[in-house]
């Protein structure tokens, strides 16, 4: 793995999934005697709120709640 010219590195997907690191997740870097430790930042947005904010405004279906429920129940 390499650091880009902008100082960026990609966190492998498996690690992001295990730690619940979504886009816009705040992280902290901590220097240790063995290197650098990457941790999710504490005291910031709860994960549920981060998920909702990430999805907010992405829906584009113009249906009422009743119409959506009818689709999920198999009634057309």
In 33-73, DSSP assigns E strands to 35-40
pLDDT score for 45: 63
Q: What pLDDT band is residue 41 in, cutting at 50, 70 and 90? A: confident
Residues 6+ apart with CB under 8 A from 76: 70
Sequence-separated contacts (24+) of 41-47 with Cβ below 8 Å: 47/20, 47/22
Q: Is the pLDDT assigned to residue 75 strictly greater than 70? A: no
**Mapping DSSP to helix (H, G, I), strand (E, B) and coil, where does residue 61 land?**
coil
Under CATH, to which class is 8-56 assigned?
mainly beta
Average pLDDT of the residues in 36-50: 79
Sorted by where each begins, the domain ranges of the chain are 8-56
Give residue for tokens 């009634």.
Answer: 75
Q: What is the pLDDT of residues 50-73, one digit of tens each?
A: 788 888 888 888 888 898 888 888
Q: What is the pLDDT of residues 18-33, one digit of tens each?
A: 888 888 888 899 999 9
Q: What pLDDT band is residue 14 in, cutting at 50, 70 and 90? A: very high
**Mapping DSSP to helix (H, G, I), strand (E, B) and coil, where does residue 72 land?**
helix
The DSSP call for residue 12 is P
């Amino acid at each position: 793995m390499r650091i880009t010219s902008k100082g960026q590195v990609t966190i492998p997907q498996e690690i992001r999934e295990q730690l619940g690191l979504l886009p816009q997740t705040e992280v902290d870097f901590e220097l240790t005697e063995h290197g650098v430790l990457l941790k999710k930042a504490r005291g910031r947005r709860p994960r549920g709120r981060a998920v909702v904010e990430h999805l907010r405004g992405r829906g584009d279906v113009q249906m009422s709640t009743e119409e959506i429920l009818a689709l999920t129940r198999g009634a057309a």
